[in-house]
Amino acid sequence: MGHWLHRNIVEPGKLPLLLALTAFVLTFLITRAVTRLIRAGKGPFGNVKAGGLHIHHVVPGVALIVVGGFGAVASGRYGFGAAVFAVLFGMGAGLVLDEFALILHLDDVYWTEEGRKSVEVVVLTAALVGLVLSGFSPFGVNDMSQQELHDRGSVISTVVFNFLFSLAVLSKGKARMAIFSVIVPFIGLIGLVRLARPGSYWARRFYRRRPRARAKSTLRAYRHDRRWAGPRRRLQDLLGGKPDPVPDRSLGR
């Protein structure tokens, strides 16, 4: 294990990335555990306030990202400093993305249905960083030979082609597959050959005069969402906690 770690992580200069990913995941899990205890009224924890103002943990998260990011750029990929700044950056990213939904909506939606977006973004980020750590590079650059890498034209054309490829997948309404296809183009190929989701740009543009394709797209999207909505929600609840129940306003009438 030690030999594999040194050969595949330390020598290529990926140790800071591994430390950042580990700090990112642990910070998110610990933060969610603490906030769930605060929500349940258990333990010694409480919301941080200053002069009656609730200080969200995205604030120290931004500070850690700034320090860790600039420090990582200045220190390179090797040495004790690089490791420390990588941990700081990972911690900051964990705190910030834990409140991604709050930033997106500019409202405190932490324990609402909209707050599930934070958990989804964290899982997606961890998966993408894990792929990069495993040896994948964005836009298929890792599949190029050393001679091709020295040829700027080949690099630029490869990046542009894979970017347009991912953009085409995104136009079919498959956002997750488009994001992962940046790292693993084969995933995008699957999304590209399958039917577009209803309401996507691709469906509006190319299915307008194809009622059978439009109906098949709607049915397939319905079956896919029904199959995966339950497991996805259970995973989100396991990692981030269940959202607050939506009050039935009809009872107040």
Residue spans per domain, the chain = 10-135
Contact (Cβ atoms closer than 8 angstroms) between residue 97 and residue 229: no
Contact (Cβ atoms closer than 8 angstroms) between residue 149 and residue 141: yes
Q: What integer pLDDT is reported at residue 234 of this predicted model?
A: 92
Residue ranges of the chain with per-residue pLDDT less than 50 = 251-253
- pTM score over 0.75: yes
CB atoms within 10 A of CB 138: 15
CB atoms within 10 A of CB 8: 14
Q: What integer pLDDT is reported at residue 253 of this predicted model?
A: 41
The alpha carbon dihedral of 28, 29, 33, 36 has a sign of: positive
Contact (Cβ atoms closer than 8 angstroms) between residue 97 and residue 33: no
Q: What integer pLDDT is reported at residue 152 of this predicted model?
A: 59
Q: How far apart are CA 79 and CA 76, in angstroms?
A: 8
